Amino acid sequence: MAPLSDDVLGLIAVGEYTGGQWLREGALAERLGVSRTPVRDALRELAALGVLDLVPHRGARIREYAFADIEQIYHARARVEPAVVADAVPRLREDHLERLRQLSDRMHAMAQDSSRRPELSRLNNEFHRVFLDAADNRALASSALHLVTPLLVAHVFAAYSEEALARSLMHHDELILAAQSGDARWAEAIMTSHILSGLHGHRAAHAAAGESAPSAADPGGSFGQ
């Protein structure tokens, strides 16, 4: 992803812009200190990732995801991203591992501060991107990126309960251990558990908010059967 696209996505991740909101090229260009042309290119890239909808003669609007959409994304992601991680682990260098450790430390440090959940969500995305960027199979990594990014836009991670967040961070720590050991199969298994645990954390957050969700016995796609 181009750096400017990352900058725009970061603004969405921390809640500067929300689902359904229109993004104006001129305003973004002024805010980011660039011309309108690279902003236009960034918006096109984000639209391709499912972050935005480009509406002719109107501009770019941040996509809104329904509960069922997020469920489907989680099920697809649980099939794709673990394979990307397994592909990436043998290719991780020490600078990749150090980056994973730094991100994990920062996330643990802010985990108890609910006001920093949007920032935590952005760091979570960066953690996963380390594996995606290191993978040799670029087609598979691109598919995983298309599945991870909408969850960032929908602020799914930011809505986790404290228990779900603690479990997620524990998975990150175990992923680092598996990566340090060079054990691709261990890392793949952890990532599968991590994503499915995230799915249940998402369901719990919606249940706590009084919104309906499919039962565990009928997950609207039944991954893993």
Q: For residue 39, with 0-12 CB atoms within 10 Å meaning exposed, 13-18 middle and 19 or more buried, which class applies? A: buried
How far apart are alpha carbons 118 and 152 in whole angstroms? 9
pLDDT in tens, the chain (225 residues): 788 998 898 888 878 888 899 999 999 999 999 999 999 999 999 999 889 999 988 889 999 988 889 999 999 999 999 999 999 999 999 999 999 999 999 999 999 998 888 889 889 999 999 999 999 999 999 999 999 888 887 788 878 889 999 999 999 999 999 999 999 999 999 999 999 999 999 898 888 887 544 544 444 333 333
Dihedral sign of CA atoms 3, 90, 128, 147 in order: positive
180, 172 Cβ separation under 8 angstroms: no
